[in-house]
Amino acid sequence: MELGHYLVAPAASLRDALTKINANHNGTVFLQDPQGSVIGASTDGDIRRYLISGGTLDDPVSSCVNPDFLWGTPTEPREQLLKKLDQRIRVLPILNKVMQLVDVISRDHIPLTLEGPIYARSMAPVRVSFGGGGSDLTHYFAEGNDGAVINATISLYSHATLRLREDSKVIIQSLDLDKTIQADSLADALVIPGPFGLIQALLKTVDPTFGFELFLHSDFPMKSGLGGSAVIAAAVLGCFNQFRRDRWDLHELSEIAYQAERLYLGVAGGWQDQYATVFGGFNFMEFRMNQNIVHPLRVQADTLLELEESLILCDTGSTHNSNEIHISQQKQMEKSHILKMVEESVRLSYEMRNAILRGKLLGFGQMLDQAWQLKRQFSEKISDPRLDKIYTQAQRNGAVGGKLLGAGGGGFFLFYVPAFKKHDLMKHLVSVGLTPRPFRFESRGLQAWSVRESNETPR
């Protein structure tokens, strides 16, 4: 829009003003003083009425100026500008702090907000696994065996924030690791040694073509058996997905997370963690070579609430190396009796699914015990005397069943305890230095969204 077609000096003639009005096609001019400030407005109607009353075209436009005119500012909300235009005026001048004209809007010309910088945020939940662990390993179902697990996501999350840079620099900050890496390019960031192997594997998979800053933190400790590495991967991918025109769907996000951790980083493990955190909710998952299927379970609300109250998540205070355990487990599965126990674990996961769908929670708790007794035999690295003692004492203090989450070797125990024994078990766990961790089931999986940076700028 040519702003000069709207501006006239107070001493300009009415003829000059009409010439400007003819040029701008909006029936209005604005009077501008020698300092460049707008001091009034005059419409073709104002001029016509002045001429009818005896004025001439050679008279100055200041003779029919309206000094009490409506105007807006560059930062004024669109809502207020629309309300001003709705007061039967044709055009609205946009003036800066010194009343200089910077734009003109009309009912036919209301510019959209210019695109500004945005950042992406995401959060992904951890999972608790109930049964079927080990059958989601590729080397198990690649031999023609059907894998099946049952799990649920809970209210502990990994969080990520991603902002794009105008240069090619890469900055990654992890609150969990208390580390930061900075590089001039993605290629440089990928070869920096240190604890960012998972993130570097993800960046190799995503291959972003822009510089960025990535901030990460989690609600849970590392190596806790809650599928944390998959959760972090999902959160990172969720942020990058916000900047794609063709966004990855849930299956693709799960597969990319698996690709980065298992193939690029070389960490052994199964498939369930990636699907659990991306899809979210209470799920029964089946694994075969031709496809992985995620079955959401329609568990009754009362059943879910009762199960939440009947489960105790307990931090053992020790961590584990899931890669070593999975490698050991893979070797053990070459033995026929171990393979039969995994098959029994798969069968048990179907029974657990049926029990939870029918609200048979005591039976579900007892099956947790069966699942743990099977799992602890898959590899000598899954349990140890200290963990066995924790489990045995928990049973003596009211637990019907439970299991060590994840690959085993440390991390979190999950115990099922009847309503009137819960206090006894919690008191016992605290008395021996263990930490119960409150949680709720989370029905949503990976969540990602974008935010305008201008909305978050401090005033």
Active site residues: 273
Q: How many residues does the chain have?
A: 459
Helices 272-279, 250-258: crossing angle, 10 deg rounding: 140
Q: Give the DSSP letter of residue 4.
A: G
Q: How far is CA 412 from the centre of its chain?
A: 24
List b or e across 356-379, with b for residues whose CB sees 16 or more CB atoms inside 10 angstroms: beeebbebbbebbbbbbebbbebb
Q: CA nearest 15: which of 52, 51, 66?
A: 51
C-beta atoms surrounding 223 within 10 Å: 18
* CB-based contact 135:333 (threshold 8 Å): no
CA dihedral 404, 405, 407, 410 (to 10 degrees): -60
Q: What are phi and psi of 396, to 5 degrees?
A: -65, -20
Tokens in use for 420?
């009137």
C-beta atoms surrounding 67 within 10 Å: 9
- First-residue to last-residue Cα distance in the chain: 31
| DSSP helix, strand, coil percent of the chain (3-state; round to 5) | 40, 25, 35
Give the full edge-to-edge strand order of the sheet including 412-416.
401-404, 412-416, 311-315, 435-436
Q: How far apart are CA 311 and CA 400, in angstroms?
A: 10
Q: How far apart are CA 202 and CA 209, in angstroms?
A: 14
Which residues of 220-304 form beta strands (DSSP E)?
282-287, 292-296
For 375, residues 6+ apart whose C-beta sits below 8 A from its C-beta are 133, 134, 345, 382, 403, 404, 408
Q: How far apart are CA 90 and CA 76, in angstroms?
A: 18
Q: CA nearest 177: which of 234, 136, 232?
A: 232
Q: Is 217 exposed, middle or buried (0-12, 13-18, 19+ CB in 10 A)?
A: middle
